[in-house]
């Protein structure tokens, strides 16, 4: 289980402190799939980073009793000076995985070919995302954090991602944030809308979508 208890996140800015997340509380059990909708810059990715452990909350506590992935398709933890192959080797060593088996999977999944022998600093954003997602799949987590994966790659790559995530790992917990409302509708059983730092939960997707669209309209009218 992941338990988020009264969590807030504040970032200092030149004009003063900016409250991104405001006293959030919820839990995610094994096998549950929670989809979160929200506007750009509304704090969705910040919440993902907090749950992954990449950042710490300003206040409150996050408790994890199951293993949690890094945000899928996020390559920020990789070494730019290393090749794709060396990054696979590095992650395999950390998690005590079979490097040769892993590189076979990564090579087939990403279809990066000779670019796997090139340093990551030469990769495009899309290439990095493909590699990051594939490396995420060589480690078995109890909960996967999915941040805008539907925006990565073409339709064929999306289908490969769906098979790995939702078919082969359909029993895992997932926290999904995305601008693609149909992606959230199709893959989640619980829904929430993040707005002005607060989360509102829904059991019905259409109600969540209506609230999300209302918030977008309201925010647009304020500019």
The H or E element spanning position 15 is: none
Residue range(s) defining the domain that contains residue 167: 2-221
Cα dist from 160 to 95, 110, 137, whole Å:
23, 10, 11
pLDDT at 223 over 60: no
Cα dist from 12 to 9, 18, 19, 45, 176, whole Å:
10, 6, 9, 17, 27
CATH number at residue 146: 3.40.50.300
| 110-139 confidence digits (pLDDT tens) | 999 999 999 999 998 888 888 988 988 998
HSE (side-chain half, CA atoms, 13 Å) at 50: 26
Total number of domains in the chain: 1
State if pTM tops 0.75: yes
Distance between CA 149 and CA 212 in Å, rounded?
20
pLDDT at 8 over 90: yes
Predicted local confidence at residue 76, as pLDDT: 59
pLDDT at 101 over 90: yes
Cα dist from 212 to 10, 102, 123, 209, 218, whole Å:
23, 40, 35, 5, 10
Average pLDDT over residues 40-47: 91
């Amino acid at each position: 289980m992941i338990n988020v208890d009264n969590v807030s996140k504040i970032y200092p800015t030149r004009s003063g402190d900016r409250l991104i997340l405001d006293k959030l509380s919820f839990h995610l059990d094994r096998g549950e799939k929670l989809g979160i909708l929200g506007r750009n810059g509304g704090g969705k990715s910040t919440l993902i980073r907090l749950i992954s452990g990449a950042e710490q909350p300003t206040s409150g506590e996050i408790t994890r009793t199951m293993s949690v992935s890094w945000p899928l398709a996020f390559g920020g933890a990789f070494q730019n000076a290393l090749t794709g192959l060396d990054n696979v080797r590095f992650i395999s060593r950390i998690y005590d995985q079979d490097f040769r088996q892993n590189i076979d999977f990564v090579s087939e999944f990403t279809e990066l070919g000779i670019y796997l022998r090139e340093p990551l600093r030469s990769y495009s954003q899309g290439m990095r995302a493909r590699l990051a997602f594939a490396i995420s799949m060589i480690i078995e987590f109890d909960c996967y954090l999915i941040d805008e994966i539907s925006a990565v790659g073409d339709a064929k790559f999306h289908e490969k991602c769906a098979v790995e995530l939702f078919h082969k790992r359909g029993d895992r917990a997932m926290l999904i944030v995305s601008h693609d409302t149909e992606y959230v509708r199709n893959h989640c059983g619980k829904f929430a809308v993040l707005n002005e730092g607060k989360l509102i939960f829904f059991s019905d997707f259409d109600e969540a979508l209506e609230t999300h669209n209302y918030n977008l309209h309201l925010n647009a009218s304020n500019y």
